[in-house]
Amino acid sequence: MIRLLRALQGRLKEAGLPEGEALDLLALATGLSRKDLLLKLPEPPPPGAEERAWALLERRLSRYPLQYLLGEVEFFGLPLKVEEGVLIPRPETEGLVALALTLPLPPRPRILDVGTGTGAIALALKRHLPGAEVFATEVDEKALALARENARRLGLLVHFRKAPLTGGLTGLDLLVANPPYLPEAYREEAPPELRYENPLALYAGGEGLAVAWPLALEAERALRPGGFLLLELAPENVGKLAEALRERGWRVEVLRDLAGRDRYLRARRPPQEAEG
């Protein structure tokens, strides 16, 4: 098994992929957990494991996403099922959840996650804010079915709706979203792995704001006075949306991710505004 692990690591390194993925592929091929393999590599490999490991490696070398091969990712401590064609939850979005948990929300807030995908944001917020009434909208049927399955598996109550943007919801204390935000031109230079995800969850017009801007406008009606809008955007366009919202009277901050890049927009609807 040590020989096999090193061989897998070597092939991944040659392809410019993380060597650490070898252990994930080996875990999938053997049916053992990554933790078990770290503790002790079985010798010899279980029957058929070597053949399965090489087949998985070839799939990965074709730049098929590791997360889809594994069928599951961990997001903010939650094991989420993932499938080809549905956006893979990423570490940057964990930062969005962490920011949401620092907001001065009421004891039983009404929260909406727009474009929920696997349900990652909505489910993480429900887990950490059990008193919250959490809604999630999504237009893609496959993603919506996957989000509902993840909610069932985790035993978390989230109200899922097939609807665009806010779906007409009002009286919200927090509207949070990781909308598609990549400029259309980025398709030409995007990593090959992205072609397996839904492009509607990735790309949003020339500036990457074709979804975020209409969503921000709907937020003016959906949020209560003093409610929060929290978005993950690209470093190239988050400042543009922030400035547009300031001009409309919002109190806006642009916050950085762990890599030091402008990533998150935190905006508060002016509390003096009348609802409606």
Q: What is the pLDDT of residues 98-107, one digit of tens each?
A: 999 999 999 9
What is the domain partition of the chain in residue ranges? 2-62, 73-268
The pLDDT, as a whole number, for residue 41 is 78
The pLDDT, as a whole number, for residue 71 is 96
Supply the pTM of this predicted model. 0.92
Residues 6 or more apart in contact with residue 38 via CB below 8 angstroms:
23
Q: What is the pLDDT of residues 179-216, one digit of tens each?
A: 999 999 999 999 999 999 999 999 999 999 999 999 99
Taking the CA of residue 44 as centre, how many other CA atoms within 13 Å lie in the half-sphere pointing to its CB? 4
pLDDT, the chain, mean: 94
**Annotated binding site for S-adenosyl-L-methionine: which residue ranges?**
115-119, 138, 178
**Rounded CA gap, 242 and 270, in Å?**
15
The pLDDT, as a whole number, for residue 274 is 42
pLDDT of 108 above 80: yes
**Rounded CA gap, 29 and 23, in Å?**
10
Three-state DSSP at 212 gives helix
Sign of CA pseudo-dihedral 229, 234, 237, 243 = positive
Alpha helices by DSSP H, listed for 31-165, are 34-39, 49-61, 66-70, 91-100, 120-128, 141-154
Helix 49-61 with 2-14: angle, nearest 10 deg = 10
220: part of which helix (H) or strand (E)?
A: helix 212-222
Contact 225, 171 (CB under 8 A): no
**Annotated binding site for substrate: which residue ranges?**
178-181
Banded model confidence at residue 272, pLDDT cuts 50, 70, 90 = low
**Rounded CA gap, 158 and 156, in Å?**
6
Higher pLDDT, 184 or 44: 184
Return the CATH architecture of domain 73-268: 3-Layer(aba) Sandwich (3.40)
**Annotated binding site: which residue ranges?**
115-119, 138, 178-181
Sign of CA pseudo-dihedral 138, 142, 146, 151 = positive
Q: Which residues pair with 266 in a beta bridge?
A: 230, 253
